């Protein structure tokens, strides 16, 4: 069942993945309910794990655990797909914007703007590493960096802010 749920992830559609996961959980619940109701006194339901593993018996806790696992895998994949889809759409929009800019501006200006957008997306730890690459050293990322270290990063960011 996990394979069928995971195959839905290849479409980048979280809704279809959620529907597949819900169908799998409901289907498994239905099969367990049918097996429990079909028990004609032959002890299909057990509370003994060893008996469950060695015989054709149902351990209710294990079946509930399987259903929860199916739902959790579905949720994690749906969140990952939604994030990946947003990232893909943003990358396509950025590429289209850069292509549109290149029709009206010189290639050097477009390259500088796109580079400054990439620097603006850096997380603070990356900015600290960037400042150390430029020759400025601090004993920890929490210390204040010299003004020259910040200027090298802030100028391209200001260019993006002014152009927006």
Domain boundaries, the chain: 1-103, 105-164
Structure tokens, 1: 């069942």
pLDDT value of position 82: 92
pLDDT value of position 71: 95
pTM of the model: 0.60
pLDDT value of position 159: 47
Q: Evaluate whether 101 touches 113 at the Cβ level (below 8 Å).
A: yes
pLDDT value of position 125: 52
- The string of pLDDT tens digits covering residues 22-77 is 999 999 999 999 988 887 766 688 888 899 898 888 999 999 999 999 999 999 99
- The secondary structure element, H or E, covering residue 11 is none
Q: Can you say whether the dihedral through the CA atoms of 49, 53, 56, 62 is positive or negative?
A: positive
pLDDT value of position 7: 78
Q: How confident is the model at residue 134 (pLDDT cuts 50, 70, 90)?
A: low
Structure tokens, 157: 């960011």
Q: Evaluate whether 133 touches 119 at the Cβ level (below 8 Å).
A: no
């Amino acid at each position: 069942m996990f394979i069928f749920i995971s195959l839905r992830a290849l479409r980048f559609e979280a809704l279809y993945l959620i529907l597949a996961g819900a169908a799998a959980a409901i289907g498994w619940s239905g099969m367990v309910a049918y097996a429990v109701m079909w028990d004609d006194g032959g002890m299909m339901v057990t509370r003994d794990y060893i008996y469950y593993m060695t015989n054709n018996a149902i351990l209710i806790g294990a079946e509930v655990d399987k259903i929860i696992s199916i739902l959790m895998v579905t949720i994690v994949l749906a969140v990952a797909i939604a994030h990946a889809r947003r990232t893909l759409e943003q990358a396509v929009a950025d590429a289209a914007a850069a292509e549109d800019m290149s029709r009206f501006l010189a290639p050097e200006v477009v390259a500088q703007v796109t580079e400054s957008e990439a620097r603006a997306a850096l997380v603070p730890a990356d900015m600290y590493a960037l400042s150390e690459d430029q020759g400025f050293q601090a004993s920890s990322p929490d210390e204040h960096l010299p003004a020259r270290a910040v200027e090298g990063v802030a100028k391209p960011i200001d260019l993006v802010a002014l152009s927006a």
